[in-house]
Amino acid sequence: MRKNIVAGNWKMNTTVPEGVALAKEVSEALKATKANCDVVICVPFTHLVPVAGAIDAAVLGLGAENCADHKSGAYTGEVSAPMVASTGAKYVILGHSERRQYYGETSETLREKVALALENGLTPIFCIGEVLEERENGTFNEVVAKQVEEGLFNLSAEDFGKIVLAYEPVWAIGTGKTATAEQAQDMHAHIRAVIAGKYGQEVANNTSILYGGSCKASNAPELFAKPDVDGGLIGGASLKCADFMGIVNAF
């Protein structure tokens, strides 16, 4: 059966000492209260090694926020999937809307990144989601289905089974505007149906689909109560231990 997961996405926030302190605080909080879900923090590349050394991997998973679309070589400034894996990280966020929007990531580059992540034993947290215009003009279901199909449907069923999906409506990210629990449920059920159409119902049922976009302790219980919402990808509210733990404890 699929897992419930709460994953933090720190984005480009915190210095290394600040990040290590926050990670330690979250790890300690999780040791004190047993979570009813898997908990992960995805941190900047510079933080991976010191954070790996500061947390208890038995209670808190670690991930990167991106990786390169090449294995190694003359790609100045890039960080590869083998490098990420060598830090002890187990997850990598791929295709976040900020990467798609500001850094021109396409389904084609994302397929390379997903393949390299899987080859190196990393679990991709693959992000999808429509922009406001697509929500308003009613094309959101097709847009999101296309992102899933183009980014992931080249995978074998076995490899697809290793993917975590995160539905993040772009209009809800960092805006304080959360999708309603009904909107999230409808989309998650739609995504699961799209997966079932390609890989069958069993694979679809085993896929964790997280919700992201202004998720906080106050709205997490309602969102996570929906049958197809298997947790959250948390931006702003993952930067304070108490806020993040409030969401973890929604399970």
Q: Does 235 bind ligand PGA (CB under 6 A)?
A: yes
| 96 classed as catalytic | yes
Stretch of 15-23, 66-74, 78-86, 211-219 contacting ligand PGA, by CB under 6 A = 211-219
Q: Of these, 10, 214, 219, 241, which contacts ligand PGA (CB under 6 A)?
A: 214
Distance CA 120, CA 212 (A): 25
| 105 classed as catalytic | no
Distance CA 83, CA 162 (A): 20
Report CA Rg, the chain.
17
Q: Which helix (H) or strand (E) holds 80?
A: none
Shortest spacing between CB 177 and ligand PGA, in angstroms: 9
Find out whether 125 and 164 touch, Cβ atoms under 8 Å.
Answer: yes
Q: Does 173 bind ligand PGA (CB under 6 A)?
A: yes
Nearest CA-CA partner of 66 in 26, 37, 104, 39: 104
- Which is catalytic among the residues 47, 65, 96, 190? 96
Stretch of 74-82, 128-136, 157-165, 230-238 contacting ligand PGA, by CB under 6 A = 230-238
The beta-strand segments (E) located in 31-172 are: 38-43, 61-64, 91-94, 123-128, 164-167
Tokens standing for 19? 């990040």
Find out whether 163 and 126 touch, Cβ atoms under 8 Å.
Answer: yes
User: What does the per-residue mask of binding to ligand PGA show for 3-42, with x meaning CB under 6 A?
Assistant: ------x---------------------------------
Return residues touching ligand PGA (CB under 6 A): 9, 168, 173-174, 212-215, 233-237
Annotated catalytic residues are 96, 168
